[in-house]
Amino acid sequence: MIKFRSEPFTAFPLGAFTVLGFAPFYLFPVPLFTLALLCHFWRRSTTPRQAAVLGFSFGMGMFSAGVTWIYVSLHDFGGMPMPAAVLALFVLCAYLSLFPAVAGWLLKKLNIVMPLVWSLAAGALWGLSDWLRSVLFTGFPWLTMGYSQAPASPLAGYAAVLGVYGISLILVSSAALMCLLFEKEFRNRRYLLPLSAIWITGFGLQHVHWTEPQGERVTVSLLQGNISQDMKWRADQIVNSMETYARLALESSSRLIITPEISIPLHRNEVPSSYLAQLATHAKRNNGDILVGMVEAPGGGDEYYNSMFSFGASPDQTYRKHHLVPFGEFIPLKFLFGWVANVFPLSDFSRGGLDQKPMSLAGQKVAVNICYEDVFGEEIIKQLPEATLLANVSNDAWFGRSIGPRQHLQISQMRALETGRYMLRATNTGVTAIINERGVVLQEAEIFTTTALHGAVQGFSGSTPYVRFGNMLLFGLSGLLLVIAVLSRFRGKTKR
């Protein structure tokens, strides 16, 4: 029998093994078992503090193993000294681990007597903690537990209803029920029924068609320039970047051509008009449009936007990135960190509006999002149900050959599941892909190659419950479960 003092050390590798549920591994059953063991430890803990330590240890294992790509960004491409990069990664992982720690603390503090209610409350607390992590300090929802179930798990069926945080709730509740199944004092079949019902319902929801095809299929080309991150902003490499994307675009006969985020590393007003006119003429010849990523500096002042510009048969349109990356694209607490702008002149972008409309391109309504933005599903649905397609443009070269780009691909798969729409991903070095409305990757370009991914995609109309209500269903379900938990606690006291 393992003594409690060793359980926090056991929780750490459990958290690390949980990463196998996420891309590029996609072993979605793994988190169910690792979380079940964590729940077992939580049940054996004797104080809220012990439960918090267990949650923190589990989180440190998961985040330390799962967000190692941040070190690559900071050290390999950001130039941060190794000790400083390691320290920054450690501090971030410690911060992220506070959320499962708080979930464990609250679960023990509630002191729920009824096992079934306890298992549902565990899921509600974890789901809410994942959501809270996505909004505090601009949010960092990477490795939200629900992503581990996209796209093949039966629990992925809940994406269109409850979103990724709702799947976190259901997954942890399932793990808690499994924990009860194998505990000696509760070992019986009654917990198998709700556990089976959860997974069977998810399987059934996978076969519900929430949206329907809209119009004819449209041909697309997603361009992958494969411009090395350490070369991207060098003045002597700008012409090479421009020529690479012009060649890939001019070789395409697709109606919709999409380049990655800031594919042309110049301000919009610095790009030769003849270059953009050539791209626009070619797009018109295809009876379509091209999306080009550039920096926008309206008025030539100190205001910068990370933007996508469209040219072609449709009127010219612009999308400005709204959700910026702290320190990478904007400077929080400028009174402390304002000096960063002097070192990295483009580290303080301005925000685009949250209420931007989908772009009308090639006969479709395209909800464009840039890089990190597709991590925030509740913001993506702001352009729906009007949008018929989703498009994410990114530069995951910052992640190198780590697991980061594959994790980002899985996040895009979840957005497709939540909205019932195709997701088009055009990235600098990969993973460039076409994802259908079921979250399945239909086509994928080989990473770290200069290529164009050609395909035909279907637009969709209609609203999933998640598009219609966003995270309100998550809050309602979580609130109901926690109210039941509190009432059951008082009921237990009354009986005594």
Decide: 229 and 207 in contact? Cβ < 8 Å.
no
Examine the residue annotation and report whether 39 is marked as an active-site residue of this protein: no
* Degrees, nearest 5: CA angle 480-486-487: 85
Cβ count near 392 (within 10 Å): 29
Catalytic residue among 365, 371, 378, 382: 371
The beta-carbon contacts of 72-78 under 8 Å, at least 24 apart in sequence, are: 72/398, 72/399, 72/400, 72/402, 72/404, 73/398, 73/399, 76/400, 77/229, 77/230, 77/397, 77/398, 77/400
Q: Are strands 256-258 and 289-296 parallel, antiparallel or unpaired?
A: parallel
Examine the residue annotation and report whether 179 is marked as an active-site residue of this protein: no
Catalytic residue among 39, 108, 296, 321: 321
Q: How far apart are CA 320 and CA 431, in angstroms?
A: 22
Q: How far apart are CA 387 and CA 438, in angstroms?
A: 17
Among candidate residues 51, 65, 60, 58, the one with its CA nearest the CA of residue 11: 58
Catalytic residue among 39, 93, 261, 365: 261
Examine the residue annotation and report whether 270 is marked as an active-site residue of this protein: no
List active site positions.
Answer: 261, 321, 371
